[in-house]
Amino acid sequence: MIASARFALCIVVALAPCAACSLLAEPPDPRSVLADGRVVAADVAVDAPPACLPARTGEVVVNEILARPGGVDLDGDGVANHRDEAVELVFRGDIAGHLQGTHLWVAGQDRGAIADIRCLLPGQRIVLTGSTAGPLTLAEGVLQVRTAKPLDLRDGGAHIELRGVLDTALGQATYGPAVAGQSQVRSPDGEADAALAAHPVIAGVGHSVGGPTPAEPNAGRGGDRQHPPRN
Ligand SMILES: [Ca+2]
Ligand SMILES: [Ca+2]
């Protein structure tokens, strides 16, 4: 009996670490804890493989940059502050692609990876926010994705770059000193080669994060221009 009890104890001791390992191997909690302690459910699970290929070099237009929100409460949490910083992207691939594993670099600083397996369609608009931004209310078909850290977009201007899983530049832009509450946007809207310009201020609103620039030429939804060379 004593021998069998010892044998049973050995089994328990041997199995206990494995149980701990399986707990550690659980996928990361998809919830995001905001700076003020609120917990926001992630838009998608992060432990499933994307059903499309990674976005490729030059396929993402860094279209609009809201580096200095001023009085803009983009996420509607009742406070306008740095957490409302945002970068609007337009996907210019001609087949679906994803941003999972893409890093945002701001002035040479890595602002963390995007964990989002959703497939982007040609011409789709995406709003990139930092980890501490709340969920945005966006038009149908417009996606919000988050980096792993706050964006920390410099008010004085900076070079920003999205680097994909193959460490190539998916898209980039250099913006100048930011005016409070006013973004900088490609003009025409959505054109990768267009210069950034101050967003028009219409009825006191100086950005169009998540939508086309009002009263400006608009490049429309994809497939209407040449694409850059493939990787
Ligand atoms: Ca806010
Ligand atoms: Ca816009």
DSSP 163-203: E-TTS-EEEEEEE-PPBTTB-EEESSBT-TTSPEEEPP-BT
Question: Model confidence over 185-196: pLDDT tens digits?
Answer: 999 999 999 999
The kind and range of the H/E element at 86 are strand 86-91
How high is the mean pLDDT of the chain? 82
Mean pLDDT of 164-171: 96
When pLDDT is averaged across residues 9-37 and rounded to a whole number, the result is 42
Ligand nearest to the CA of 218: 2
- Token digits of residue 139: 């038009």
pLDDT in tens, 49-67: 899 999 999 999 999 999 9
Q: What's residue 224's pLDDT?
A: 33
Token pair in block for residue 164: 């994909």
Average pLDDT over residues 173-196: 97
Ligand 1 centroid distance, CA of 70 (Å): 10
Give 72 Cα–ligand 1 centroid separation in angstroms.
7
What is the 31 CA–ligand 2 centroid distance (Å)?
27
91-127 pLDDT per residue, tens: 999 999 999 999 999 999 999 999 999 999 999 999 9
Q: Bridge-partner residues for 86, per DSSP?
A: 66, 129
> Domains in the chain, start-ordered, CATH in brackets?
53-198 (2.60.40.1260)
CA of 108 to the centre of ligand 2 (A): 25
Rounded distance from Cα 34 to ligand 1 centre (Å): 11
